[in-house]
Amino acid sequence: MISAMSEPLSPTSATSTTFSTSPDQPAIPLDVGDVAGVHGRIRFKHETGGQTRDAAWLDKERAQLQAYEYLCHIGEAKEWIEACIKFQIASIGELEEELRNGIVLAHLAKSFQPEAVKKIFEDRTRLQFRHSDNINYLFEAMRKVGLPDVFFFELTDLYDKKNIPKVIYCIHALSHLLSKRGLAPSMKNLVGQLTFTDEQLDATQQSLEEAGVSMPAFKSVGDALSKELAEPIPEPVLTEEQKRQIYLAEHVDKVVRLQAEFRAYIARKNYQQLLTDYRAHQAKQAEKKEKEYLANIIRAQALVRMHLQRKKYLEKRRTYAENENSIARLQAVWRGRKMREAYKNKLAEIHGKERVWTKIQAKYKGRKQRRRYLERTNYLKAQGDSVAKIQSMWRAKRFAKAYHALARLDDPNVNVLRNFLDLLDDTDNDFEEDTEVDRLRQLVVKRIRENITLEGEVADLDTKISLLVRNRISLEEVIHFTSKKMRQALNVTKSQEKDLQGAINLRGKDKESRSKREHYEELFYLLQTQPQYLARLVFTMNKMSGNTATKFLTKVVLSLYGYAQDRRVESLLLSLFREAIKLEVEDITSLDEFWRADPFFIKLVVDYTRRGGNADYLRNLAQPFVKSILNNQDLNLETEPLAIYRTLIAAEEIQTGKKSQRPYDVTSKQAAEDPEVQRIQVQHIAKLKQITGEFVSALSRSTKDMPFGLRYIARQLKEALQKRFPGNDDEIVRLVGGNFIYYRYISPAIIQPEQFEVIDMSVASALSPTQRKNLAEIAKTLHQMSVGKGFPNDDPNLAELNPYISEKFKTFMTIFKEATTVDAELEDEYAEAMSEYASMAQKQRPTVKLSSGEIFQLHKTLVENLDDVADDAKDNLRLVLADLSPVPTVVDDSGPEIELRLRNRFPTLEDERDARVRLLWNEAKRYIMAVIRVQTGKNLLDILEAPVTEKEESIFQEYLALEAQQLDAKKEFQSRQLNQSRDTLNASGSMTGSSQGLAGSVNNLAGARNSVGSRGLYASQSSLLKGEGGSTTFFSLKRRALENMAKLEAEGQVTKSNQYQDMLNSIAKDMLTKSRRRSRRRKELLSLRNTLKNLEEKAVYLEDQKKSYHDYISACMSQLGNKKHKGKRPLPFTRQYAHQRALAKSGKVPKFGSFKYTAAELHRKGVLISLDDVSPSKYGQITLTISSDEAGIFNIEAAFFGVKMQDKMELRLEDLLAAQYNNETVITLMEGAKINLNLLIFLLNKKFYV
């Protein structure tokens, strides 16, 4: 009766619509007050706005008032029930549905009459007849407490919603009865305290009118109950608030008079305060004027006195001037006499106290010097910032001078290195940046895989759409095939069924699954670190297989190398490119053949260059250029004469409305002779030259910033081709630069900028054909410049560009020569990151995440091409594949990805020695650094052989304590950062819904940061410097250092002949490259953040595209179901006849039909192949019902002897067609039923749609 109704709004809510009193939307005005003496009864207010209200408006207001009071009574009943049963029930709008099953009423009966309730039927999934027992429990309880039968409602009033108001009325009567007897609290009066919208009131009134029942007298329910019980009617009990409201309503005049007197009192008080302030202000003004008058008198007296004194002074001065010589002689004689007397006396006194005066002079001089020192100190303190800057500049200059001296020294000594040891300590900021880089790498790899999965889903949806359209066209042809012919045409062999049993579970915990998993970890480590295997595989597959295989290899190879988001995997991927280039170059006979062959590794390179730092560089280069072109809406760079000619005709006809006088059918040569075409073409060519020139200049300026990976690949291409075809250096640079750097890397970002995040997808969708044509013309012209190829001489205007192209070609050649060179130090760093011992300090092994289908498919591909990939019978790859044989198959690949922790099965003896020496070298280096921090000497050998003093031991222990404090601080920061990363990854997992994937990412991140001390070579030395017992001494540290140096000398790494200078040179090299490593890390941080932002934007775009595809599939399904097939009527007394009669009787006939088969019938038709754990002799006892109530969706129910075996299963036609498209012939349904897919689709089409 009251469906889809929300909770009532607060009467004071700003969003409540009950404050609206427009004529076309009448509402219950809650601000007019109640009827006097009757709380809750709303009083109608007389409108004074001049608008007349007719009888219809009054009737509608009365109806809404009735609906409002009814909703309030429902709310009263809801609150009373909740108070009785002690738990929350549904809202007012959903209360009637909540009451229909009787569960709430049974709990209500149990609250005041427990013995009347036996067992409550609690099933809330759907309304059943057993719910009537719950309602009967309430009837029984009401009879036991003595509620008169006249208040009872019928079972159908509630169960069938025939008279819900009577049910609410019954609950009100029951509340009065239980309240009188002290069995339940009283029911509150909520009329006037709840607020509802006009839509709620209208819906309630409409439902009451449709029910056609009279509204019970809720206000007189207490009187009616007392009358039926023959009890006196109690006086209404008013609350204190109600009494206060009645009293105020009766004494309004008194209250108003009291308020008026109080306001008058306050006004008088404020007036007296203002008057007092005014008088005080007047007194202050008078006092101020009196003081000013006295001051003027005093100034006048001072002027008079000053005049008189000046007059006396001038007279005396004139007298002295007249007798100046006499006075001077007299004064000189007198002063001379006095001074001689004083001098004699003073000299005698001084000679008598010579020692005293010496002490006084010393104290005076000391005091004077201290005063000067204090003044200097205060001055320096006052100029603290300036002094600090000067000191900082002086120290920086001295430090820079010493640092450059260190860089120039071939063999720096110990004292020089001691000044720069702090350079090798990581700061808190370094640690935070390292942690952030690790976290962002995890997120970027996860986002890349999610986007690739979304792209795959979008492609699958596109395939499903085409399959649905094709299936719609071919439905009419299905009827021409008999079941027998179809089984013969689409039969599945038993060998294919057996293949399904070959699948293994790599996530299993049993011995066999764990062994298989370990072998796959060994296989993928071998493939990742030995690039020759994958290089040969992609080389072979590119020549033998089609586009599907290459797409699969592209995704798996890039996943194996983590999409180059890490320095180590990027180095390994570049080594794969190096090996692939060698194979491709060895297979060609001419330079041009390399580019015509379209090698597969180029696809991998293109995908690699579109991510990370490569994409950032390309975006920064092309974004300003492309946006300036797109912002110029009037720009047109069309250079084809015929296109310009036809554009002129169209513009002329649109402007004049008449047919153009120019002939339409002309040749390109004739169009080029038109003067207007020539003029426009010259303008377009001039603009084209300007734009391309600006881009070439920008490219030239940014060449130094070109990423290392692109430069490395270009250099490998150049060197491989130069070795294969010597004497063609310039031609090779031209081909590598023009066909690889520009055509494969730069040009796509200009032609399709939205694919490289140069512009947003929304901007790209709004581009006009002219704008697209402009970008294509620019890209084409730049390509011809990059390869030095001019335009043909057929068009004189375009031929004029050839000198300009030749000029810019020289610039391009300069760019390409620089782009095909690599910084040697940076290349060494990449090579070091790729080496095995570079990762030995890390506790976690490298990881790779792949689906089981990708793992098994790559395994199968390797086995099929093993002779080409590893021709040696004793090759390590063959040994690993032999342990993994046979190749498993995949039944279901819908689970989460599998994380493989790669392991090295075949470490060579030389590798073990190198790793051991490397670890020994690093350990000795840390010992030496700790030693030279504490002790000094002429050279390293002298320091190591010198004895240890107590002072040096004390300094060393203080150094250890400081290191321990810093380590604890870093561990605390690591814990906070890890928690933050876990929250970020869990929030981002909502896109794919894979909680297992998120947990794996967090665990991997935790493992990667498990040890603060292992973050870098110089991150912390506390754990290394401490001995086995947890502590060490400086003497034992020096002894271990000497032992390590002796071992290194035995390995030929250092020598005593030069006092172990090789170790000091290594430490100096680390100092000089620390700043470069920090700068590279910050650039990587910025690149990862930009990459993550772009990946998230692309994910949003793919989600929108996926949604639009789903909508289109739904529309296709609707069209598929428009042609409803009625089919032939079944023969009487058959199973199908009885099935249809039962459906018709229950009123649940599916829209597209329902068909019932036994498993034996489907087995004979070939649709059912087998049932797990069921003998074929029992197939006749199993029935399968296939029904469709929505186009393209089929429900399958199974029953054994009429008892349902499990819940029904849903099949979608587009999923079946997609599986058929992927050449799947057998599918598994209901956890054990193997079905012939082709015959199942044939059966569904024939029975439901043909």
Q: What is the pLDDT of residues 441-497, one digit of tens each?
A: 778 777 777 777 777 677 677 666 666 665 654 544 444 443 344 444 444 333 444
Q: How confident is the model at residue 10 (pLDDT cuts 50, 70, 90)?
A: very low
Within this chain, do residues 1178 and 1235 fall inside the same structural domain, yes or no?
A: yes
pLDDT in tens, 1141-1177: 777 777 777 877 788 888 888 888 888 888 887 888 8
Question: Could you tell me the CATH number of the domain that includes residue 623?
Answer: 1.10.506.10
Query: Predicted confidence band at 921 (pLDDT cuts at 50, 70, 90)?
Result: confident
Best CA proximity match to 991, nearest among 1128, 1092, 1063 = 1092
The mean per-residue pLDDT over the stretch 534-548 comes to 77
**1198 in a structural domain:** yes
According to DSSP, the residues that pair with 34 across neighbouring strands are 42
Residue 363 forms part of a structural domain: yes
Residues 155 and 280 in one domain: no
Q: How confident is the model at residue 152 (pLDDT cuts 50, 70, 90)?
A: very high
What does the pLDDT read at residue 54? 65
Q: Is residue 361 domain-shared with residue 419, that is, in the same domain?
A: no
**Mean pLDDT, the chain, whole residue set:** 77
**Whether residues 635 and 696 fall in one domain:** yes
Is a pLDDT exceeding 80 seen at residue 943?
A: yes
The pLDDT assigned to 11 comes to 36
Buried-state track 1131-1147, b at ≥16 Cβ within 10 A, e below 16:
eeeeeeeebbeebeeee
- Look at residue 163 and give its three-state secondary structure: coil
Contacts for 959 with CB less than 8 Å, ≥ 6 apart:
930, 933, 934
DSSP letter (8 states) at residue 1157 = E
The residues facing 9 across adjacent strands are 195
* Same domain? 1228 vs 1201: yes
Domain boundary among 306, 321, 336: 321
Q: How many Cβ atoms are within 10 Å of 87's Cβ, its own excluded? A: 8
Q: Is residue 472 part of a domain?
A: no
Helical H runs in 149-251? Answer: 155-159, 164-180, 198-211, 221-229, 240-250
Q: In degrees, to the nearest 5, what angle opens at C-alpha 278 toward C-alphas 275 and 283?
A: 130
pLDDT band per the 50, 70, 90 thresholds, residue 1072: confident
Q: How crowded is the C-beta side of 511, counted as CA atoms within 13 Å? A: 0
Q: Could you give the percent of the chain with pLDDT greater than 70?
A: 78
Q: Is residue 173 part of a domain?
A: yes
CATH number, position 84: 1.10.418.10
The answer to whether 1038 touches 931, Cβ cutoff 8 Å, is yes
For residue 685, which of 636, 642, 629, 749 has the smallest C-alpha distance?
636
Highest mean pLDDT: which of 252-256, 808-812, 1131-1135? Answer: 808-812
Report yes or no on 773 lying in a domain: yes
Residue 63 inside a domain? The answer is yes
Instruction: Place 165 in a pLDDT band, splitting at 50, 70 and 90.
Output: very high
Please state whether the predicted TM-score (pTM) of the whole model is above 0.75: no
For residue 988, give the H/E element and its range: helix 950-988
> What is the model's pLDDT at position 554?
81
CA neighbours closer than 13 Å in the CB half-sphere of residue 75 = 20
Mean pLDDT of 973-985: 61
pLDDT for 139 equals 92
> Residues 313, 333: one domain?
no
pLDDT at 1202 over 80: no
In this prediction, residue 915 carries a pLDDT of 59
Say which amino acid occupies 454: L
Indicate whether 881 belongs to any domain: no
Tell me the residue range of the domain where 303 lies. Answer: 252-321
Query: Looking at the chain, how many residues does it have?
Result: 1250
- Decide if pLDDT at 5 tops 50: no
Tell me: do 118 and 35 sit in the same domain. Answer: yes
Residue 649 in domain: yes
pLDDT at 773 over 70: yes
Same domain membership, residue 1068 and residue 1187:
no
- Phi and psi at 1226, nearest 5°, equal -130, 135
Statement to judge: residues 150 and 203 lie in one domain: yes
DSSP 891: S
Which of 250, 280, 306 terminates a domain? The answer is 250
268 shares its domain with 337: no
The CA distances from residue 1154 to 481, 885, 1030, in Å, are 22, 47, 78
Please state the domain count of the chain: 6
Specify burial of residue 1018 (Cβ count, 10 A radius: 0-12, 13-18, 19+): buried
pLDDT at 357: 80
- CB of 144 closer than 8 Å to CB of 191: no
Q: Is the pLDDT of residue 431 over 50?
A: yes
Residue 1221: per-residue pLDDT: 66
- Based on DSSP, count helices (H) and strands (E) in the chain, helices before strands: 49, 12
Range 726-733 average pLDDT: 87
3-state secondary structure of 1093: helix
Cα(792)–Cα(831) distance, rounded to whole angstroms? 47
22 and 74, same structural domain? yes
Farthest CA pair distance, the chain: 166
* Helix 547-560 / helix 852-864 crossing angle, nearest 10 deg: 120
SS3 (DSSP) at 1189: strand
Instruction: Read off the tokens for 1112.
Output: 């289109």
Q: Are residues 221 and 290 in the same domain?
A: no
Determine the 3-state secondary structure of 63 from DSSP. Answer: helix
Q: Look at residues 822, 844, 868 and tell me which one is the last residue of a structural domain.
A: 822
